[in-house]
Amino acid sequence: MENVVIIGSGCAGWTAALYTARANLNPVVLTGVTPGGLLTTTSMVENFPGFPEGVDGYELMTRMQKQAERFGARTKFATVEAVDLSQRPFVLTVDGELMQARTLIIATGAGHRHLGLENEHRLEKKGVTYCATCDGALPMFRNQPLVVVGGGDSACEEATYLTRFASTVYLIHRRDQLRASKIMAERTLANPKIQPVWDTVVTDVLDVKQDKVTGVRLRNVKTQKESALDCAGVFVAIGHVPNTQLFKTVLDLDEAGYILPTKGAATKVPGVFVAGDCVDRVYRQAITAAGMGCAAAIEAERFLAAE
């Protein structure tokens, strides 16, 4: 039986692993389908303290993993399919096999929010993507006009990154002001290759008949005027949805799907703790996720010690 099982391998998961490993609890980290989490798909992280020149997202996560493993954390490249939290030890189904856990730290993070358009889904990986760092350099996007949807830090980061490859990047935002942090917004709007398209939503992605993205249909939400824009790619960066499906019947979630802790990192199930983007709908930063991972680890350690 495991002392501590950590579900998720983003900033929260690895930090929880580091702390519980140093507490001699011999934790196991179940990585999920994206080892390292969403941060591995971003380019430069400039706001993680300790890296004055910035650090590549993938490198940061690899360093966190190595640091946790150095103190004895074990990594299992596996996905949790089901959880039974009705009694202790908790029982997890992990890639078809059962695993027992005395405590559980849920750090499952979040996935990309989709626009919800039928053709967005049909043209996924045929020009529609949710990750500029993963796909931006593909030949199909080189020297082509590209569309980024969204107005937050992610959209700004994606748009800036894509200027390396695109002829023009159109930043389609539903309001006339970016939500992104001031420094990101200013940098984005100052980039001559980025053209903001304000007060506008994407209503369709073209062209399913050609089996690739050739453009988008747009609607100005103030004037209701419809238009079309040619592009070879649509990069959707409109926020995230917490990865909490597994827990929706066993823990309390808010209306957006974020887990509701009872106090600190604790949940209504004694022995189950939460950390990172699956619980945090307010800050959602790498550093806050890491801090929450630390808190969850300390609480798990105290919980086990009290027993």
Closer of 287 and 304 to ligand NAP (Cβ): 287
Q: Which of 33, 31, 27, 39 is nearest to 3 (CA)?
A: 27
Q: Which residues make beta-bridge pairs with 20? A: none
Least Å distance, CB 18 to ligand NAP, is 22
**Which of 179, 187, 217, 219 touches ligand NAP by CB under 6 A?**
179
Binding residues among 64-103 for ligand NAP as defined by CB under 6 A: none
Q: Which of 11, 131, 156, 294 is catalytic?
A: 131
Closer of 16 and 155 to ligand NAP (Cβ): 155
Q: Which residues make beta-bridge pairs with 92? A: 83, 99
**Which of 63, 175, 225, 302 touches ligand NAP by CB under 6 A?**
175
174 is an interface residue for ligand NAP by CB under 6 A: yes
276 is an interface residue for ligand NAP by CB under 6 A: no
- Angstrom distance (rounded) from CA 148 to CA 132: 9
What are the C-alpha distances in Å from 162 to residues 88, 133, 135, 170, 284? Answer: 49, 8, 10, 10, 23
Pairing, β 90-94 against β 97-106: antiparallel
Closest residue to ligand NAP, Cβ-based?
A: 152
Q: Which two tokens stand for residue 242?
A: 């917490």
Q: Which of 286, 43, 39, 37 is nearest to 161 (CA)?
A: 43
Q: Is 210 exposed, middle or buried (0-12, 13-18, 19+ CB in 10 A)?
A: exposed
Least Å distance, CB 105 to ligand NAP, is 21
Closer of 46 and 230 to ligand NAP (Cβ): 46
Applying CB under 6 A, what is the total number of residues that bind ligand NAP? 22
Cβ atoms of 269 and 85 within 8 Å: the answer is yes
240 is an interface residue for ligand NAP by CB under 6 A: yes
**Which of 13, 27, 152, 291 touches ligand NAP by CB under 6 A?**
152
Tally the C-alpha atoms within 13 A of residue 275's C-alpha that lie toward its C-beta: 31
**Which of 238, 272, 294, 295 touches ligand NAP by CB under 6 A?**
238
**Which of 2, 120, 157, 301 touches ligand NAP by CB under 6 A?**
157
| Contacts with ligand NAP, residue ranges (CB under 6 A) | 45-47, 115, 149-155, 157, 174-175, 179, 201, 237-240, 284-285
Which positions are annotated as active-site residues? 131, 134-135
